[in-house]
Structure 1
Amino acid sequence: MLREIGLKKIDDDGLTKRQDAVIRAVRESGFASIESMAERLGVSAQTIRREVIELSRRNLLERYHGGAGLPPGTDRLAYTNRRVRHADEKRRVAAAVARDIPDNSSVFMDIGTTVEAVCEALVGHRGLRIITNHIVVASIFCENTDFEIVLAGGMVRNRDRAVTGEATAGFLRDFRVQYGVFGIGAIDHDGQMLDYDYRDVQVSLVAMEIARQRFVVVDGSKFHGDAMIRFAHVSEIDALYTDAAPPADIAEHLSAGGVRLVVENDSEM
């Protein structure tokens, strides 16, 4: 029997159950840390490292420091899959954010599929001035000719059309906006927000500095997620928009930081 993994089909007999579980963990978000997979599978980190090395040798995974990602050629597929995952939840969250951003505002829009949903919810606004480092975001906003759109320069990442890196961060330092809308990879139990790529974090940190109001958008799957790059603490933002009530430990950090929590789910619609 053949099973599809990424863009490859592999004989089931060619993978152990543990190797199959490692690949599934990586496919869920495009990256998984060694520690999170070890905890998930109930084995040591060294065991997971050996599996990752073997799967990398067979071109089924790409090895990174501290974890594993999808091999070249499959990451664009993973991004497409993320766009449709939790789509209804993202639309509800996006609608809540759009209600809190008035017409004629200046807004920085981050990268990420939930942020894209916010963009779609904002298209009907008037007079927005947008700064973004995401080609997809700029394209969405181009539907409204009343908007002024600034696309930051830098290196384009093919898989998700993000513009990222030091040049992008430097470009943003010349601006000041009323609102910043940010997507993240995870929120840890200590309130630390995390992401997957240090280049994205470089850009987001500068964008946090230039925004007077900082809104973070997440779906409930991001609570206690396994992203590995530290971004900022939840106490540094103004509002968190999500589709599910956060776990008690994260909720405590939000409350202590005076962060407005907006939960949009089916029961409230």
Structure 2
Amino acid sequence: MSYSPRHGQILDLLTKEGTMGVNDLARHLDVSVETVRRDVKALAGRGEIVRMHGAIALPSVVNEAPFERRMRENREAKETIARLAAATIRDGESVMLDTGTTTSLLARALLDHRQLTVVTNSSDIARTLATVNGNKVYMAGGELRSDSGSALGFSAIEFISRFSVDHAIISAGAVNAVTGIMDYDLEEAQFGNAVLARGRRRVVVTDASKFGQKGLVRVCALTDVDELIVDRPPPADLADVLRQAEIRVTSDA
């Protein structure tokens, strides 16, 4: 089957997004689903893409660790959030970060900062900020999870309880007007709650895809947060609740 210029567009989209469904591809390319299916068949036949669980991906993505795969999702939005959050932190200050793709990108955005004191349970964040620019990095101990390289559980929470920092920053799986800040893992939610309790400034960083989601486990009430840093403003109903809770919302818009 001959090569179509659209094949290049599909490969470019997968490079950016990681994985995509056929319907999403059709919408992005403004063609029919059947047309995309023919393109997918051709690309898969040449080994340029892999079909899996109702979606398609580049072969390199299939072999990625779960955390690295999540780092690719909504990457542009997360990098925007990381840039905004980094701008609120000054050289010489202390910051506590939980594990998460957005907080990992925030660590990268802090590479130009100097003399930071960083407390985290994330091996990725610790590796990023340790041994550079005079930083001090303290990492919570315990068994590292294979999917995220994070330490969780009682020992990790007990460790961070010894610190009091300028900025306590966590990521979130959901931000809901009724249920508050939510996540999908009990231990991660417990750790996030403990992080917020240690900061003079309590911040949640999350992209707009989390607005209105319900999550599974409650991290904290909205009133337990001082600031929300996002890529774009929340919808009106959530914005009203955040305003009533006197939570500052910082976005790129």
Q: Report the TM-score, using the length of structure 2 for normalisation.
A: 0.72
Instruction: State the alpha-carbon separation in 2 of the partners of residues 222 and 78 from structure 1.
Output: 19
Instruction: State the alpha-carbon separation in 1 of the partners of residues 136 and 101 from structure 2.
Output: 22
Query: Match for 1:81: what amino acid?
Result: R
Instruction: State the alpha-carbon separation in 1 of the partners of residues 189 and 64 from structure 2.
Output: 20
Q: Which structure 2 residue ranges, 5 or more long, are not aligned? A: 1-19, 22-52, 54-61
Q: What pairs up with 1:165-180 in 2 under 5 angstroms?
A: 165-180=153-168
Mapped pair 1:250 → 2:233? no
Q: What pairs up with 1:79-158 in 2 under 5 angstroms?
A: 79-142=67-130, 144-158=132-146
Query: Match for 1:87: what amino acid?
Result: R
Q: Is the 8 A contact 1:166 1:202 kept in 2?
A: no
Instruction: State the alpha-carbon separation in 1 of the partners of residues 203 and 196 from structure 2.
Output: 10
Instruction: State the alpha-carbon separation in 2 of the partners of residues 191 and 91 from structure 1.
Output: 27
Question: Higher strand share goes to which structure?
Answer: 1
Q: Is the 8 A contact 1:235 1:256 kept in 2?
A: no
Deviation at 1:189, TM superposition (A): 3.2
Mapped pair 1:236 → 2:199? no
SS of residue matched to 2:89: coil
Q: Give the number of the structure whose alpha-carbon radius of gyration is greater.
A: 2
Q: Is the 8 A contact 2:169 2:196 kept in 1?
A: no
Query: Match for 1:110: what amino acid?
Result: D
Deviation at 1:79, TM superposition (A): 2.5
Q: Is the 8 A contact 2:96 2:168 kept in 1?
A: yes
2:152 to 153, 156, 164: 164
Deviates more, 1:117-126 or 1:136-145: 136-145
Mapped pair 1:213 → 2:201? yes
Deviation at 1:174, TM superposition (A): 1.0
1:182 to 141, 152, 170: 170
Q: Is the 8 A contact 2:96 2:167 kept in 1?
A: yes
Q: Is the 8 A contact 2:114 2:133 kept in 1?
A: no
Deviation at 1:205, TM superposition (A): 1.6
Deviates more, 1:201-210 or 1:175-184: 201-210
Alignment partner, residue 198 of structure 1: 186
Alignment partner, residue 3 of structure 1: none
Deviation at 1:111, TM superposition (A): 0.9
Counting matched residue pairs gives 195
Query: Match for 1:255: what amino acid?
Result: R
Instruction: State the alpha-carbon separation in 2 of the partners of residues 237 and 102 from structure 1.
Output: 20
Deviation at 1:134, TM superposition (A): 0.5
Q: Is the 8 A contact 1:235 1:253 kept in 2?
A: no
Deviation at 1:188, TM superposition (A): 1.7
CA-to-aligned-CA distance 1:65-103 (integer Å, 9 cap, x gap): xxxxxxxxx997433221011111111111111111111
SS of residue matched to 2:212: coil
Q: Is the 8 A contact 1:76 1:160 kept in 2?
A: no
Instruction: State the alpha-carbon separation in 2 of the partners of residues 95 and 214 from structure 1.
Output: 17
CA-to-aligned-CA distance 1:111-160 (integer Å, 9 cap, x gap): 11011111111111011000000000001112624100000112211111
Instruction: State the alpha-carbon separation in 2 of the partners of residues 83 and 232 from structure 1.
Output: 24
Q: Is the 8 A contact 1:235 1:257 kept in 2?
A: yes
Alignment RMSD: 2.0
SS of residue matched to 2:144: strand
| 1:75/1:201 CA distance change after superposition, 3 Å | farther
